[in-house]
Structure 1
Amino acid sequence: MTRRRTGLLVAAGVAVAALAVGSDAAAGGPVVGHLMTGSTPHATAAAHRTSDARTGAHDAANAPTGRRTGHGDAATTGSHAGGTSRGRHAESATEPAAVGVAEAGSQDSVTRHVDYSGSPTTRFSYPGAAYVKVHFARLLVRPGDWVTVSDESGKQSYTYRGDPRLLKLPKDSPSTVSGADGFWAMSITGDTAVVTLHKTLPGPGLGKFGVDVDRVAHGFTASQRADREHKQRLAEGGRRPESVCGSDDAQDAVCYKTSHPVEYQHSLPVARLLINGTTLCTAWRVTADDRMLTNHHCIGDQADASNTEVWFNYQCSSCGGSEIAPVTKVPADKLLRTDETLDYTLFSVSDFASIKHFGYLGLDIRKPKAGEQVYIPQHPEGDPTKLAIASDGENGATCRIDEATIDGYASNSDTGYRCDTAPGASGSPVIARSTNRVIALHHLGGCPNSGVRIDLIYPQIKSLL
């Protein structure tokens, strides 16, 4: 093994390996195929944990409230919801990649009022930003009036007639929340968000009516990202991030639309996560129902889920182009189950009907095989969907499993490969080319990079699928 993850190993890893004994087999099929399982029951032996680790899988009612140091492919991040730090440190040759989710942007405190006596519009512009997300401390309008958050063209627009924490109105747009201090409108893709108060009748309202914006989250510009990456490389002695094994061979998913149509189709159920307005991960639909998987270090509790946007179809319109295809955004809804050691979170989304047509990925519930080919659809650095299919780490060949089992946060819990990933790819599906089904949940860098084996995760979530 070229890279031992000794820092966070769980004692008595034999018990974890026992989870894979007699695993159900999943047949291959298209992206919208059915999950097919055999009749052999899974072993349910519980793995021992270190003294300070949480044990087993957690239902939403028992979801962990604390957050550990993050893991997986990601950059160092700032503060998280509730002021909890998601600070990361660099990968080393002997420990897991302790880096977590990718930082997408920053939050600014602002004081903006829109009321009935002044201008009905206020703009938030951050030239070059990838997105803008507005937080309302107060939104109280007269009956029949409404507020929109839109881009300057009006093509993207979200409507709110009240505070959704107090009253959810059927025609209002979705939103996300963080604590009890207001709510976030859904983000606007681009560098400008326009907040407008629409009045059905002329004249002023009472003094209690109006809109207050107290925070704005916005994405980094290309130059800010480049500067951050440069500083990170200097801090690492000029080395490339270890999660890119050699040159970065991942390409825009649309580049493979004609040459690899099956792999491209299997990128469509993969979504970008915008968590708490400033951090990024990847997630994907699993089975035909309203179920999605990502890493525990991305969404660790219900508070994270309540303030997460899930972006489908966030991909380039053309190979190597800068224009983005129309994006469908929905909020995450319920955290259904999460586990720190196997680093997964199963969750649902709001407005499932709007994303159902993107399809889902089936599961390949078996132990990976050394040498078998795999590919990874992902959102590295929060970029539009990319596919890691080729790898110069494999002498120009396609990505493949280098080590069938490798240590993750438990002994032999992961499978290792040299497919290129990057910050933000945490939570991506590792798909076996032989079945076009998910064989692992990507979460660690280090060359070999690694994902948690699906045959270990499945026994903990199968009752919820």
Structure 2
Amino acid sequence: MRRRWSLVVGACAAVTLAGVGAIGYLGGDEPGTPTVAVWNAAGAASVRTPDAPAESATPEATTAPRPVTTTPAAPSAKATVPEPAGAARDGETADAGQPIGTVERVDRTLGYAGAARRTTLRFPGAEYVKVHFSRIALLPGDYLTVSDPQGRESHRYEGVSRDAVTGLTRAVLNPDAPDRDGERWAMSVSGDTAVVELHTGGTDPLGLKSALADLGVGIDRVARGYTRPERVEAAHELEKAREATPGPAGPGREESVCGGDEKSDAVCYRSTNPMAYTRSKAVARLLINGTELCTAWRVGAQNRLVTNNHCFSTSKDAYNTEVWFNYQCARCGGYDVYQSTKVWGDKVLATDRTLDFTLFTVESFASVQKFGFLTLDTARPAAGTQLYIPQHPAGDPTAIAMASGERGSNCAVDNPSYTGYASASDVSYYCDTEGGSSGSPVLSRTTNKVVALHHFGGCPNSGVRADLLYERIRSLV
């Protein structure tokens, strides 16, 4: 394992989300257990209208006021407008999925020789905070934690240490990993505040901590989620950019709501369509390089996941991608969410721009096996085949599109030979999707197998044919 970290979750943590509500976790993350958090407040601008009867009520998480005694880390005055497709952002990666945040420059140091051991980074109203370490040089046995103020979501890092006798840096993790010099992103913390703390041993008989003043931790950047006004502004700017460049389907036209938005929380189908609900558990939210969103899903029983090539295409980007399983609402039309299980992306095994897919693995695979997997259909679906799409639209908890507001019926295959990046490479449909849905599986309601990999649209939306995808990755899954 290239990263040494662990996640500790306690009870009733309440943290601010998007400036309009709070998210607080209760208990563990076993699928189906009533472990909940508040995802959004009832006063949110949009009204969620499910198309299936509500499940029996789950007790809502208690929300507590967030302490505001720390000095804010000065968020930007306005949302960062996404770079054009293909342009590098901050020297790290090209344009990927739906923009959901921005990167702030900071300058914080934790160390041994009289330096601070703890720092708090707060960005009022941010959905999440994700810390970037410019270096981690620790004495053996010492470690870092990044947590929310209550310590109920906490990630531990040991990383790169320095030998106390020779002063030589040694990589505890894989020496070929991108963070071999101690530079890395931490796992995000939900809410607008992250507390970073250096934990050291209580004794120092040789006085090494005072002698090795160059030991310590540097924090140079923080990726933080947009506030609600910034999300609205970013979506408006993105829509203006799309309207200014009309044309055929492609990057920049990845998702569309066709007619009325008919998506519903995945849990709305727990009783009415339990198979669709169960399949949705294999779908994950991606947070890419701290600022962008896509969707991915497990394919086959091995450690294999699929998303779009336009979301990411390299192992470096996979390594800096968070994969969130079980980020779902606890009840239909409600605002409680289950505790998600976060793991890191690992290696890209195959990728292709024309078929717009990336096949990759994750770290800590054993922790997400319980959420199940999907299988690819090896036959092209016929026109009229009824469909459903579990997805993370705009990065929200899992929703399922199963009806079509455009056509006033169930969403179904409109054209099984639709042209995507190549002639007849796609199937088209009017199932509703949004930014962040890129990479979602399109499943047949008859076979419950994946018939397409959603990637773009414009009403109709479309996905790459699963039979073509199967031929490309069959030896790897």
TM-score by length of 2: 0.73
Alignment of 1:209-288 (within 5 A): 209-233=215-239, 243-288=256-301
Equivalent residue, structure 2, for 1:187? 188
CA distance in 1 between counterparts of 2:358 and 2:155 reads: 28
**SS of the counterpart of 1:362?**
coil
Letter in 2 for 1:189: S
Equivalent residue, structure 2, for 1:409? 421
* Aligned positions, number: 372
Of 424, 434, 438, the residue aligned with 2:446 is: 434
Equivalent residue, structure 2, for 1:57? none
Structure 1 residue 228: Cα displacement: 2.2
CA distance in 2 between counterparts of 1:354 and 1:421 reads: 28
CA distance in 2 between counterparts of 1:421 and 1:166 reads: 47
Structure 1 residue 291: Cα displacement: 0.6
Equivalent residue, structure 2, for 1:106? 102
Letter in 1 for 2:262: D
Equivalent residue, structure 2, for 1:83? 91
Letter in 1 for 2:324: W
CA distance in 1 between counterparts of 2:158 and 2:236 reads: 44
Alignment of 1:27-176 (within 5 A): 76-77=82-83, 80=88, 83=91, 86=94, 101-116=97-112, 117-163=114-160, 167-168=171-172
Letter in 2 for 1:229: A
Equivalent residue, structure 2, for 1:460? 472
Which is bigger in relative contact order (C-alpha 8 A, separation at least 6)?
1
Letter in 2 for 1:279: E
Letter in 2 for 1:308: T
Alpha-carbon contact 1:299-1:305 (below 8 Å) kept: yes
Structure 1 residues 293 and 147: alpha-carbon distance in aligned structure 2, compared to 1, 3 A threshold: same
Matched, 1:201 2:222: no
Alpha-carbon contact 1:178-1:303 (below 8 Å) kept: no
CA distance in 1 between counterparts of 2:181 and 2:289 reads: 14
Alpha-carbon contact 1:81-1:304 (below 8 Å) kept: no
Letter in 1 for 2:310: H
Alpha-carbon contact 1:399-1:418 (below 8 Å) kept: yes
CA distance in 2 between counterparts of 1:166 and 1:320 reads: 51
Structure 1 residue 286: Cα displacement: 0.4
Structure 1 residues 180 and 320: alpha-carbon distance in aligned structure 2, compared to 1, 3 A threshold: farther
Alpha-carbon contact 1:161-1:169 (below 8 Å) kept: no
RMSD (Å) for aligned C-alpha atoms? 2.5
Structure 1 residue 155: Cα displacement: 1.6
Of 351, 357, 373, the residue aligned with 2:370 is: 357
Structure 1 residue 391: Cα displacement: 1.2
Alpha-carbon contact 2:83-2:89 (below 8 Å) kept: no
Letter in 2 for 1:192: T
TM-score by length of 1: 0.75
Which ranges in structure 2 are unaligned for 5 or more consecutive residues? 1-80, 162-168, 247-252
CA distance in 2 between counterparts of 1:216 and 1:440 reads: 36
Structure 1 residue 300: Cα displacement: 1.3
Structure 1 residue 293: Cα displacement: 0.7
CA distance in 1 between counterparts of 2:280 and 2:452 reads: 15
Which ranges in structure 1 are unaligned for 5 or more consecutive residues? 1-74, 88-99, 171-175
Alpha-carbon contact 1:113-1:213 (below 8 Å) kept: yes
Structure 1 residues 183 and 400: alpha-carbon distance in aligned structure 2, compared to 1, 3 A threshold: same
Q: What do residues 201-225 of structure 1 show as CA deviations (whole Å, max 9, x unaligned)?
A: 1675430221110110011112211
Structure 1 residues 309 and 197: alpha-carbon distance in aligned structure 2, compared to 1, 3 A threshold: same
Structure 1 residue 236: Cα displacement: 5.9
Alpha-carbon contact 1:177-1:184 (below 8 Å) kept: no
Structure 1 residue 399: Cα displacement: 0.8
Structure 1 residues 158 and 143: alpha-carbon distance in aligned structure 2, compared to 1, 3 A threshold: same
**SS of the counterpart of 1:464?**
coil
Structure 1 residue 259: Cα displacement: 2.2
Alpha-carbon contact 1:177-1:307 (below 8 Å) kept: no
Letter in 2 for 1:132: V
CA distance in 2 between counterparts of 1:273 and 1:218 reads: 15
Aligned identity (percent) is 49
Alpha-carbon contact 2:171-2:181 (below 8 Å) kept: no
Alpha-carbon contact 1:390-1:398 (below 8 Å) kept: yes
Equivalent residue, structure 1, for 2:43? none
CA distance in 1 between counterparts of 2:366 and 2:91 reads: 34
